[in-house]
Each structure stands twice: as structure tokens, then as C-alpha cells.
Structure 1
Amino acid sequence: MGNFLDRMSAAFDFGERLDYFLLQEQSAVMEDFETEYRQSLQTMSLVQDALVSLTIAVAFMMAVAFMLPLIMGYDIYVLVALSGASLLVIDILSIIFIDLFLTHDDICHKLPIKPKEYLEMKAMFMPILAVVFVLLIVVLWLRPFGLWVSLLVAFAVSPLAIIGYNAKEFEGEVIKKDMAFPAFVRSLGGSMSARGGSLYGTLGPLRVHEFGVLNEPVERLYKRLLIRCDKFHSWLYFAGETGSSLIQRFGTIFIQVVTLGGDPEKASEIISNNFIKLLSLRELRLQLASSVKGVYYGTLVGVSGSAFASLRMVGILDATFKKSFSAIASTPSVASLTQGLLPSVGNIDMLLVEEILFWILVIHAFFSAYSIKMVDGGSRWACFLDFVIMLWLLAAVSIGVPALFDLVFSTGSSASGVVSGVTPT
């Protein structure tokens, strides 16, 4: 504020007009914001690459660590817990870095006034969440048909995809309203300047024009003004019903300018131009979010695949070593030489180990889905759609990778764990 006042006093000293000075200032502020916005996207891209590298390193660490019980006799439960803790730390760091480095530009506003689509979605959440909890308890307790635990969990959580899908559709509608708003505000400002009338008198004839997805909110705005509702509250409800954060912010600026006696045409032109700039910046952000989404999906498949492959390899090698050494140990003279030659995992419940690993990866999938929505600035409800898709991918990997190992190595003595749901004999 101090620098701004210094520049304004200097401009007045040189005889510069106030309107020209303020116009130049808003252009400079917008350029600074654009530069900062682009820089934050570049920084976030670099940070995301670093976090992905750390995740890959953890996946490699998990693959090596799960082999240590065969070589050095370490407790495999401790190794799984440490691997899960490392993955959780990376997920938390990802959330923190996104919040710190990325410019806050949410698609949806945070006003208490919500569109009907949002209210319907919110009303569905608790019943669907209750259904999910009931399904989880039932399938985990009964484990019907001897199905895989990962498949049962993915099935039980699938109703959350309804919330995620509706939130995704809601985001799309909000983005369409954002695209239509610059044309609407230009038409409104130009008509008010030409007619020299009030907002109500101008909005009436303007309703006959087609503004696409904004037609219904505009009609409601006109009806509120018709019954002499307060202009600020009427416009606030208009912004709230659109669900858009940008419309809420720029709409407030427009109504304040009009109320204070400013030029509506000039104000609408400035608002429209800045609005379009922000939409172009948001396109870059959505492109980054699309890239991050692909990276998170690929990382989940890679980490889960390597982890389950390592655990299956531990089971295969342990079964092989036990079979070989039990045959050798039948000869007393050789048994003393082979005793303690190679540590074994002992009587570890590999089924339990794989289930623990599966739940660790479920938590990782949720953090990944939430991070995606933080990057694109969309509704956090939409993360449930990505979460459910990730769970099905995780289930496919947890079933497919061990099955592939069984096929390649043709062994039936290794632990089947979360991929079969049946304790091996």
C-alpha cells in the first residue's frame, strides 16, 4: 500500500489524470499476478518431479527391504511399517508443497450460498458414506465367495464414485459459466452505459439475449431486483448460484463500481479482459493437473506392482529354501552343516503382510486423489472419483502381479495373501 501511495503522489505531481493512473496500475498488478501465477506452475512442476522421484525411491526401498528377512533375518512387519511410514511422509509433503507453492485459484466459491447441484450432492454424501461403511464391514467380515480382499474393498468403496462423478459434472458446469461471464458482463456494462439507467432497467431487456448456462441465474437476478431486493445481496445470490469463484470476485467489483457511480462500460471492459486472462491461466493449471494426474496414476501402479511382486518373491524363495533345506536336513551328517546357512522368514503370516501393504497403498491412493484436486483447484468432492478408480487399479495389480508370478514360476507353495484370500497350504 505504501508503494502504491508513493506512485500515486508522484503521478499527481506530474499532472497525470487519476483514471489513467488507476488504469495503468491495474494493468501492472494483473501482469505481476500473471507472472507469479506462471512461476508457481513451473515451481509446482519441479516440486512434483522431486516428489515422484522420492516415491520411486521408496518403491525401490520396499522391493529391497522385503528381501532382507531372507538374507539377514529382519522382522518383515517392521519393514512393512517403515515403508508405509515413508510413503505417508511423502504424501503429506505433497499436500503441504501444493498448498505452499501453488497459487490459490479455486474453481468453486466458498460462499454460504450454494447452487442446488452442490446442495443435492452434499445431501447424498452422508447416506452414501453410510452405505460404504456397511459394505466394508460386511465384505471384510464375511469375505463372500472367498474373493480377494482388494476386490471386495474396491467394490465396497465404489458408491463414492457417484459423489465424485456429480462433483466432476458440477465443476464442468461452473467452468462453462465462467466462459460465458465475460460476454455477459460486457453486454451488461455496455447497455447500462448506453441507456444511462439502473441495473434493473438494463437487465430487463437484456434477458431476451442468449447467455447459455447463465440464462437461469440471470433470470433469478432480475426477479430479485424486480421485487426491490438489495443490489448487493441480489448479486451475491447470483454469484452463489453460479458456483464460480471468479464470478463471485469480479461480480462484486462490478456492482461496487456501478453503485459508486463509475463508468459501467469501462468497468465491464476491464473486468472482461482480466477475466479472460485468468481463464487462460487456469487452462495452463488444468494442463498441469492433467499431467500430475497421469503421474500419480502411473506411480500408484508402479509402487503397488513392485511391492506385491517383492512380497510374492519373498514367499516363493522362502518356500523354495525351506523345501531344499528340509530335504538336506534329512541326512544328519549334512544337517549340521546347513543349519543357519540362510535365514528364513519363519512362520510369518504372509496373508497378513500383504493385507497390511494393501491398506498402506489405499491410504496412498486417497492422498494422491486429493492432491490431484488441489492442483486443478476443483471441488474436493471430485477426489472420490479418482480414489475409486485408483482402488480398482490397485485391486487389479494386487491380483494380477502375484498371479503372473505363480504362472511364471509354477509354484503353489508361496503365500497368496491379499490376492487370493486363501491361506496357502
Structure 2
Amino acid sequence: MEFKTAKIPKASFSFGRLGGLLEALKSRGKELLMDNDLLFTLTYMASLSTANLSRDKIFEMVSLKKEYAPSDYFRKVKDLTQKWHYDYVTACELVAERIKHERLKKLFNRLANAIAAGEPDDEFLEREWRTFKTVRKDEYERSLESLRKWGDAYTSILVSASLISVVFLLSVVIYSTGDPGTTLIASAFGNFAIAMFGVFMLFKAVPKDRKVHDMSIKSREQERISRLLPVIVPIALMMIVFISILPTMLNLKTGILSLGLLQGGDYRGLGFLIAGILLLPIGYLAKIDDVKVSKRDEAFTTFIRSLGAIKSGAGVSVAEALSRIDQKNLGELKELVIQLYRRLSMGLDPKISWEKFVGESGSYLISKLTAIFVDSTDLGGDADVVGEIVASSNLEMVLLRLKRDLISSGFVNLIIPLHIAMVSLILFISQILSIFQEYISALFTGLHGVNVGEAFSKLPGGLQGLNIGIFSGIPVELLNQYTLWIIISLTVANTLAANIVKGGSRYLYLYYGTIFLLLSGILMLIIPPLVKWTFTLPSFVE
């Protein structure tokens, strides 16, 4: 059984290099998930073998599972044996020579050796499935250990990059050498590059795993997000661009969008704040969906094991077996199982009924493993054994994800206060420099046209030889632009890093983006006036 997603008709024209790039990215995406798909493929083959199917039928069924990346290679073996009349040993060896993925290549070589030795397919497939589960678990745990270390490294990189930005800012103000604008621009890009390097290394370290499927049928929360996304996200981006970025870059002082609104203050952070508020409903739905998908994955182990045991032990249909499952143990799957039972008991198409069940679950694991149980039992497989095999594969992934959640929760709880500290620091320093600039400029207003830098260079003691430019008059708007880009780079990097470590759906980027946008916006609105108010107290003025 195959749950198909919506398909877009192929275009009749070529995209040239762009099309090649898209194909390369698609191929790379398959390679990243190859280990997961290999586990699902072996689970599928081990389940099919319980039905005592022929080797031809097993390879044919696997080759039809296009959602599994290894299916392409199994299809090649099927074509070589059934169309070109090669024996399976030769066909597996020929296909293995063309495979780049080392683990999949070794699997085909072992398969060829087992067939040549006359080993029964069911024994070989069950042994390979159990072995690969152990190997996959060990690899996942090693990736988690690497992720833990790179999470600590990322926070160190983030702190270092932010402090370097502050040092550059102070050095440009204190020591005049070259064009300060060029120096600050280079520093801003360097800060962004360092932050992105940390994000990239986190991506390299994390176990490659998906949590949410990409079917056309989605969970209730995912459906709501899909409707809100095209409307809210563009508006949120426009708020950031037109309220925060453009006024800062163009030095607009007449208020928001030059409309004369909210005059007399620094409202650069308002764009971030409004964007965060706009994205808040989507972020909230994304978080709810993530929690529900996790609970459904956990409940699926009990559900599929019970379904297989009841169907096999009582010899009843799937619909009857569903009615006998204790609903108290279904948790978040309870409502979906009830809907599935109603559809099947009414005589609706089982394929469509199961597809609705999988789609409404929103889970990547359930979408991969449900089809294994349905196909295997439909072809005569032992429902009890198949249910145990599928439940075991699901439980393995759920337990590994729980370990990952433990690491990700600590990481996110660390970078949120770190983000607050870094943004507050850069805002505090830039605002102090702006205030000092105004104070020093006021002190030299009686120099009759002599600028601040020239006056300072005439001081005795050879101080002019130090090329000190603290009074050289760096534009305040340049400081504001530099501060804004540093905050943007921190917000983007932390949003990406949080979800990469978490391993959530694409929608969850909006959840973390909402958090960091709100924090950045609030700090940008509070810190500058607070610093300015502090330095206008009588003790400072006198």
C-alpha cells in the first residue's frame, strides 16, 4: 500500500542549470535520509517475508515504494532479473557497483552472498533488520553526543562573535583608521558568517530525521498553518523591512514609514515586535502540532502492536480489531483511530481510509510504518509478527527522539537568555557611544568651526600622534545600522539553530522565529531609552 502525495504535472520546458541544481538538491535530500529509509525498507521486507512471498514479489513490492530512497536500486534489480533474465546474485552485484552510499552498497553485496549460499530470504531479512536497528541506534547516539558538543561550541562561537562585534565598534570610535563605514560593514558580515558557520556545523552534527510528513492531507494544526502562512508571513516581513530596516538604512527620522507617526523616539524595534506578534498564532499552532505529533508517535507503538495481536489472535477484520482495542491506551491517537474505525466499518475504501488516518496524524513515522503493516497483512502476512516488527522500529525511533529532545531543550533554554544578553550588550554599547558623541560635540560648540578631531589633535604631550579618533565624529546613523545588522544576524542564526537541534517541522522555524523576534523587538524598544534616561540623571549631567 502506498500513500501518495499531491503530484504536479511535469513542465514541458527545461530550467537549464537551475533545473540541474534543483535535481542535485533533491538527490542530496534523499541521501541525507537514506539511513532512515533503509531502516523502513528493511522493516518492510522483513514484514513481507512473513507472508511467505516469492523473492520476485518482495522485490516488486519494495520497488513500488517510491517514498523510500533505496526503492530505485531495488527496482533496478527487479528489472535486471524479470526483464533481462539475470540471476539475483549477479543483479545485486551489478547494482551494488553503482551505489555510492556505503551502507546500502554493503547490504546489496550481503544480499547477493546470502542468495548464492541458499539462505532463506525471511531469515536473512529479519537478521538484517535487527542488525541495522542496532547500528542505526548506535549511529544516532553518536550523532547526539556530537550534537551536544557542537551545541556548547555554538554558544561559545555566538558569544565570541558578539564580543568581537563590540570590540570592532569601540575600536572604530576610539582609533580612527580608514573608512569606519567599511570597517563596520566588514565586521557585520564577518559576524553573520561566523554565526552561519556555527549553524552549519550544528546541521552537520544532528541526526538526519524528519518529524512531519509532506502529504497533501495534513493534521488540523497543519491545515490552519497552511492557510495562514501565505498571508501572515509576507506581512511580517514587510513590517521588518519598512519599519525597521529601511528607516535605519535611509536614516528616516520623521516616524514610521515617513508618515509622521510616533515622532520623537527610536522605534526601530517596532518592526520586529509587530512581526513577532503577527507570527505568534502560526508559531503557537506549530508548537501544538509538534507536541501532538510526538504523542501520536509514542502511542502508535501500542496501537499497532495491539491491532496486530487482536487481528491475528481473534482472526477478525481490521475494523473489528479496531473496535476491540482499549482506547484508554491510545492517547493522542484515540480520535484518529475512532475515525478510522467508522470509515472501515461503513465499508469505505480501506486505502483511502488509511490514507486519511496517516495524513491527519501529521507524523512522518506513522506515514512510513502504517503502509508496511497494511501491505504485509493484506498479502497474507502474520499480523501479530508484523505488528511487533513495525512497533519495534517505531519504538526505537521514538526513544532516540526523546534523547534528542533532552539535548535540544537544554540548548534552547541556553540560547534564549544568551540572545537577550548579546542583543542588550550591543544596544547598550551603541547607545552609550551615541550619547558620548552628543556630549563631546556639545563641549566643543565654542570652537568656532573647528571640528572635534582637529581640536583634540592640538592637545599637548604628543597625543595627536596616537591617531586617536574618539572625537572624529562618526555618524550616529552608522552606529544604528551596524547595531541593526548584528541583531538581525543573531535573530536569524538562533532561529535556525534552535529548530535544527530540535529536529522539528519546517513550521517550527516560525515558532522560534516568533520568540527571537519578540525578544529583539522588545529589547530594541526598551534598552536605548533606558540608557538615555540613565545618562540624563543629575549625577551624570553634573
Scaled to the shorter chain, the TM-score interval is 0.7 to 0.9
Name the structure 2 match of 1:202.
Answer: 321
Cα shift at 1:400: 5.0
Name the structure 2 match of 1:389.
Answer: 515
5 Å-filtered alignment, 1:183-262, equals 183-206=302-325, 211-226=330-345, 228-262=347-381
TM-score using structure 1 length: 0.83
Q: Which letter maps to 2:156?
A: S
Name the structure 1 match of 2:256.
Answer: 140
Q: Which letter maps to 2:166?
A: A
Cα shift at 1:357: 1.8
Name the structure 1 match of 2:171.
Answer: 68
Separation in 1, partners of 2:334, 2:194? 45
Separation in 1, partners of 2:496, 2:435? 36
Instruction: Please state if 1:28 is matched with 2:135.
Output: no
5 Å-filtered alignment, 1:7-406, equals 7=110, 18-69=121-172, 70-129=174-233, 131-132=235-236, 137=242, 140-141=256-257, 142=259, 143-144=261-262, 146-157=264-275, 158-206=277-325, 211-226=330-345, 228-319=347-438, 321-322=440-441, 337-338=458-459, 341=464, 342-344=468-470, 346-402=472-528, 405-406=531-532
SS in structure 2 of the partner of residue 380 of structure 1 = coil
Structure 2, unpaired ranges of 5+: 1-103, 244-254
Cα shift at 1:210: 6.0
**Contact preservation (8 Å) 1:115, 1:241:** yes
Name the structure 2 match of 1:422.
Answer: none
**Aligned CA distance change for structure 1 residues 71 and 115 (closer, same or farther; 3 Å):** same
**Contact preservation (8 Å) 2:157, 2:194:** yes
Cα shift at 1:226: 4.0
Larger CA deviation: 334-343 vs 252-261: 334-343
Cα shift at 1:16: 6.7
What CA deviation, in whole Å up to 9, does each residue of 1:350-393 have, x standing for no partner? 14532442244134313321331222122222333332332332
SS in structure 2 of the partner of residue 126 of structure 1 = helix
**Contact preservation (8 Å) 1:192, 1:198:** yes
**Aligned CA distance change for structure 1 residues 208 and 282 (closer, same or farther; 3 Å):** closer
Q: Which has the higher contact order (CA 8 A, sep 6+)?
A: 1
Name the structure 2 match of 1:423.
Answer: none
Cα shift at 1:266: 1.1
Larger CA deviation: 336-345 vs 386-395: 336-345
**Contact preservation (8 Å) 1:66, 1:76:** no
**Aligned CA distance change for structure 1 residues 108 and 313 (closer, same or farther; 3 Å):** same
Cα shift at 1:191: 1.0
**Aligned CA distance change for structure 1 residues 156 and 9 (closer, same or farther; 3 Å):** closer
Aligned residues: 411
Name the structure 2 match of 1:418.
Answer: none
Cα shift at 1:222: 2.9
Cα shift at 1:52: 2.7
Q: Which letter maps to 2:519?
A: L
What CA deviation, in whole Å up to 9, does each residue of 1:144-181 have, x standing for no partner? 25453244223321121111001111111212211211
Cα shift at 1:347: 4.3
Separation in 2, partners of 1:40, 1:152? 40
Higher helix share: 1
**Contact preservation (8 Å) 2:293, 2:362:** yes
Q: Which letter maps to 1:35?
A: D
**Aligned CA distance change for structure 1 residues 330 and 33 (closer, same or farther; 3 Å):** closer
**Aligned CA distance change for structure 1 residues 155 and 208 (closer, same or farther; 3 Å):** closer
Separation in 1, partners of 2:126, 2:457? 91
Separation in 1, partners of 2:216, 2:290? 17
Separation in 1, partners of 2:531, 2:327? 67
Larger CA deviation: 74-83 vs 225-234: 225-234
**Contact preservation (8 Å) 1:160, 1:384:** yes
Aligned residues: CA RMSD: 3.5
**Aligned CA distance change for structure 1 residues 134 and 394 (closer, same or farther; 3 Å):** closer
What CA deviation, in whole Å up to 9, does each residue of 1:391-415 have, x standing for no partner? 3322444455545654665589x9x
Structure 1, unpaired ranges of 5+: 415-425
Cα shift at 1:262: 1.5
Separation in 2, partners of 1:125, 1:10? 52
Cα shift at 1:243: 0.5
**Aligned CA distance change for structure 1 residues 335 and 283 (closer, same or farther; 3 Å):** closer
Q: Which letter maps to 1:48?
A: G
**Aligned CA distance change for structure 1 residues 404 and 73 (closer, same or farther; 3 Å):** farther
Larger CA deviation: 221-230 vs 46-55: 221-230
**Aligned CA distance change for structure 1 residues 188 and 77 (closer, same or farther; 3 Å):** same
What CA deviation, in whole Å up to 9, does each residue of 1:88-113 have, x standing for no partner? 21343344334333222222112222
Cα shift at 1:31: 0.8
**Contact preservation (8 Å) 2:273, 2:521:** no
Cα shift at 1:34: 0.7
What CA deviation, in whole Å up to 9, does each residue of 1:234-256 have, x standing for no partner? 32321111011111111122112
Percent of aligned positions with the same letter in both sequences? Answer: 23
